[in-house]
Amino acid sequence: MNVPAQTVRPVRAGAMRTATRLLALCIGGEGRTASIGMLLMLTGSVLGLLQPWPLKFIMNVVATKSAPPAFLVSAQNFIAHVIPIGNNKLALIGLLCLALLLISLTSAAISVLSTWLLVSAGLRMVFKLRCRIFEHIQRLPLSYHDGTTVGDSLYRITWDTYSVQALFNEGLVPSISSSITLVGIAIVMVGQDWGIAVVALIIGCVLLVLVRRLEKPTTELSTRVHENESRVSTRVTQTLGGIRAVQAFGREAHESKRFAHQASESLKASLRLTVLQTASQSAVAVLFACGTAAIIWMTARRVIAGRLSPGDIVLMVGYTALLFKPLETLAYTASSIQGSVAGAHRVFEILDKKSLISDSPHAAAIKTPVRGKIQFDHVTFGYKPDQSVLRDIDLTLPAGSSVAVVGPSGAGKTTLASLIVRFYDPVHGRILLDGCDLRDITLASLRREIAIVPQDPVLFDVSIYENIAYSRPAATIEDVHAAARAAGAWDFIQALPAGFDTLIGERGVMLSGGQRQRLSLARAFLKDARIVVLDEPTTGLDAQTESDVLAALKRLMAGRTTIIIAHHLHTVRYVDQIIVLQGGALIQTGTHDQLLEQDGLYRHLYNLQHQPHLQSAGVP
Ligand SMILES: Nc1ncnc2c1ncn2[C@@H]1O[C@H](COP(=O)(O)OP(=O)(O)O)[C@@H](O)[C@H]1O
Ligand SMILES: [Mg+2]
C-alpha cells in the first residue's frame, strides 16, 4: 500500500521542542539499549565506507604492472604462512574478494543487530506512551469525554503514539548516522581528488532536488488513493450497517452500483500512482547514470594523466553511489520529524489536560462509617459557562432516606445525579456529604461509598459473572450470587446455557433491556454502598419486568440513602421525599400524598399518567 509522504517543510522551533519533549518523556529506561544500538549502527556505517576499497585494489592488481600497496603484500605473506595460498596476483585477488565478502557479512550482521536494538527501543517507547495516555485519559473528567468522540481518543492512543517511534527511528537515529556517514565519504573523496568530490556532491544534490520535485505529485496522488480507499470502506460499512433497510427496500442492485463506482475510482487512482512512481524511478535512474558517467570521465582523465590509479575509477563511482543515501535521509529527516510532531501534539493534548475533577490539596478520605446525609447548598450548574442546567438547588437528603427526582425530560435530573457522584463540580454552591464539601473528599473514597445504576446499563463484553463483579472485584462467588438473587437476575441467568459464564455482547448472548437492567442492579447490590443513585431504572421495561425490578429496588434501598430518578410516578410512591424539577429549578418537594394535594406539576404529571381521560378535559 502507498503511504502518503508528509509534505516537506522545515522543522519549526516549536515542533523541535515538542519532538524533544516527547523523546525525553519516553526514552527513560531505553538509554542503554539505544546507545548500544547507535554505536553498532555507526560501526556499520564506517564498515560500509570500506566497501569500495577492495574493488579499487583488485582493479589496480588486474590492470597495472605496479606493485600492490605494502600493507596488502604483508597481509598476503602473513596469511600464506598459515594457509598455503601462494603469493601470486590471483591469490591476492582471492583475498580481496574474501575481504569484500567479510565486509558485507559483518555490516549486514551489525545492521540486523542495531536495527533490532533501535527499533525495539522505539517500540517499547510506544508501549510506555500508550499505557501512560490510556491511564491518563480514563481519569479525565466526563466534561472532556462529553466533548470528544471515542474514535478520536482511540486514534490518539493506538496511532498517534507511534509518533515517538517515528521520531526516534526515523528522525533522531538516521540524522545522526547519516551526518557521520556523509562526513566520512567527504573526507575520503576529498582525500583522493577534491574536484571530483565537489562534482559528486553537486550530482547528489541535483538528484535530491529531482526526487523532491517528484514527491509532491506522488504525495497528492497517494493521498487521493487513500481517500478513495476509505470511501470504499465507508460504502461497505454504510451498506452492511443498514443491511436491514437495504434488503427490505430491495436496494441491493443500487448499492452494488454505488460500490462499483467507488471501487473503480480507487482503481483509477491506484493505476495513475503506479505509472507516476515507475516514471519517477526511471528518471532518477537515468540522472544517476549521467552522474556516474561524468565521474568516470573525470576520474579516467586523471588516470590517463597518471594522477590517479585505474582502481580509483571504481572507488569514486562507489562513493558517488554511497553519497546519495545519507543526503536523501538528511533531506527527509525534517519532514519525517514534522509529520511525527503532529501526532506528538495530539498525544500531548491529552497528557497536558489536567483532570479538573481532581483531589484538592487538602482533600482527605471520607470519614467512616459514612452516614449518608447529602445536602445541596444553593447549587447552580451548567455544562457550558453561559447556560445553567440546574439553578440554585437547595435540598437536604437525610441519611438513610430515599428521595425521588421527577420532572419532564431535560429538566436536569440526570445532571443532578451526576453532581452527587462528582462527575462534574457545581459552578456555584456546594454539595455536602455528612457535612463535608465533596471537593474536600478524595474522589476514590467518595466513589467507594456510591453505587450508581445509570439510565443505560453499561455492560462489558465479558461474562455475566465478571460484569456483576465489576463493582467489587474482590467479591466472593457467594456474594455475586447473592447480588444476582437480590436483583431478581438469578432465574434468567440460570436459564442461560452457560449460566454466569455466559458472554455478553458481540460474542455472547444478547440480553433484553430488563435483563441488562437487572445485571446493572446486581452490580449495585454487590457494591453494598451507603448511597445509591438510580437513574430511571425501570424505563422501557414491560409491566411484569418493571414490577420485578421494583421489588429488587425496594430491597436495595433499605437502609441506604437513595436517589431514584423516575419517569413513571407510580414507581416512587413509597419514597420518603419527592422533588420535582422543571427547567433546572426545584419547584416542589414533599411526599406523594402531599404533592397530590397541591395544584402543581406533580399532580398534573400524575394525572396524565394515571387518568388519561383527563387529558382531554383540560386539567392543567
Ligand atoms: N453532557 C452534556 N453536555 C451538555 N449538555 C448536556 C449534557 N447532558 C445533558 N445536557 C443538557 O442538560 C439538560 C438536562 O439534561 P438531563 O440532566 O440529562 O435531563 P433529564 O435527565 O432530566 O432528562 C438538557 O438540556 C441536556 O440537553
Ligand atoms: Mg435523564
- State the CATH number of the domain containing residue 604: 3.40.50.300
Contact (CB, 8 A) for 494 and 449: no
Q: Does residue 567's CB lie within 6 angstroms of at least one atom of ligand 1?
A: no
Closest-CA residue to 143 (of 424, 382, 391) = 424
pLDDT in tens, 212-228: 888 788 888 888 888 89
Beta bridge partners, 564, equal: 404, 534
* Confidence bin at 6 (pLDDT 50/70/90): very low
Pocket test for ligand 1, best of 143, 380, 389 (most atoms within 8 A of CB): 389
* Confidence bin at 507 (pLDDT 50/70/90): low
User: If you take atom 1 of ligand 1, which residue's CA is the nearest one?
Assistant: 146
Judged on CB neighbours under 10 Å (0-12, 13-18, 19+), 196 is: buried
* Confidence bin at 358 (pLDDT 50/70/90): low
Which ligand is closest to the CA of 383, given by its number? 1
CA 25 to centroid of ligand 1, rounded, Å: 39
Closest-CA residue to 485 (of 432, 554, 552, 562) = 552
User: If you take atom 24 of ligand 1, which residue's CA is the nearest one?
Assistant: 410
**Residue 110 within any structural domain of the chain:** yes
**Residue 375 within any structural domain of the chain:** yes
CA 553 to centroid of ligand 1, rounded, Å: 25
> What is the structure's pLDDT at 617?
43
Other Cβ atoms closer than 10 A to 300: 15
How distant is the alpha carbon of residue 572 from its chain centre? Answer: 44
Structurally, the chain folds into a number of domains equal to: 2
Look up the CATH number of the domain holding residue 148. Answer: 1.20.1560.10
CA 539 to centroid of ligand 2, rounded, Å: 10
Q: What percent of the chain has pLDDT over 90?
A: 47
When pLDDT is averaged across residues 374-391 and rounded to a whole number, the result is 93
Q: Give the whole-angstrom CA distance, residue 59 versus residue 92.
A: 12
**Residue 137 within any structural domain of the chain:** yes
Q: Give the whole-angstrom CA distance, residue 599 versus residue 550.
A: 28
SS (H, E, C) 194-248: HHHHHHHHHHHHHHHHHHHHHHHHHHHHHHHHHHHHHHHHHHHHHHHHCHHHHHH
> What is the structure's pLDDT at 272?
93
> What is the structure's pLDDT at 613?
53
Contact (CB, 8 A) for 404 and 572: yes
Tell me phi and psi for residue 419, to 5 degrees.
-70, -35
Domain boundary among 157, 174, 192: 192
pTM passes above 0.85: no
> What is the structure's pLDDT at 615?
47
Q: Is 372 helix (H, G, I), strand (E, B) or coil?
A: coil
CA 612 to centroid of ligand 2, rounded, Å: 24
Q: Give the whole-angstrom CA distance, residue 525 versus residue 530.
A: 11
Q: Does residue 387's CB lie within 6 angstroms of at least one atom of ligand 1?
A: no
Which ligand is closest to the CA of 411, given by its number? 1
The three grid cell numbers given for residue 489, joined into one nine-digit string: 437476575
Other Cβ atoms closer than 10 A to 333: 20
> What is the structure's pLDDT at 618?
42
Q: Is the pLDDT of residue 12 over 70?
A: no
When pLDDT is averaged across residues 260-286 and rounded to a whole number, the result is 92
Pocket test for ligand 1, best of 406, 414, 564 (most atoms within 8 A of CB): 414
Q: Does residue 530's CB lie within 6 angstroms of at least one atom of ligand 1?
A: no
Pocket test for ligand 1, best of 383, 406, 581 (most atoms within 8 A of CB): 383
pLDDT in tens, 162-216: 999 999 998 889 888 888 888 999 898 899 898 999 998 888 888 888 888 887 8
Q: What percent of the chain has pLDDT over 70?
A: 95
**Residue 117 within any structural domain of the chain:** yes
Judged on CB neighbours under 10 Å (0-12, 13-18, 19+), 173 is: buried
Q: Does residue 382's CB lie within 6 angstroms of at least one atom of ligand 1?
A: no
Question: How do the residues of the chain divide into helix, strand and coil, expressed in percent and rounded to 5?
Answer: 65, 10, 25
When pLDDT is averaged across residues 98-115 and rounded to a whole number, the result is 94
Domain boundary among 192, 212, 238: 192
pLDDT in tens, 445-483: 999 999 999 888 888 888 999 999 999 999 999 999 999
Structural domain containing residue 399:
370-449+572-620
Q: Give the whole-angstrom CA distance, residue 429 versus residue 442.
A: 19
Domain boundary among 126, 161, 192: 192
Q: Does residue 383's CB lie within 6 angstroms of at least one atom of ligand 1?
A: yes
User: If you take atom 12 of ligand 1, which residue's CA is the nearest one?
Assistant: 389
> What is the structure's pLDDT at 513?
82
> What is the structure's pLDDT at 4?
38
Q: Is the pLDDT of residue 487 over 80?
A: yes
Contact (CB, 8 A) for 129 and 136: no
Average pLDDT, the chain: 87
> What is the structure's pLDDT at 357?
67
When pLDDT is averaged across residues 248-255 and rounded to a whole number, the result is 94
pLDDT in tens, 578-608: 999 999 999 999 999 999 899 989 999 888 8
> What is the structure's pLDDT at 11?
58
pLDDT in tens, 402-450: 999 999 989 999 999 999 999 999 999 999 999 999 999 998 899 999 9
Rg (CA), the chain: 37
Closest-CA residue to 596 (of 583, 606, 586, 581) = 606
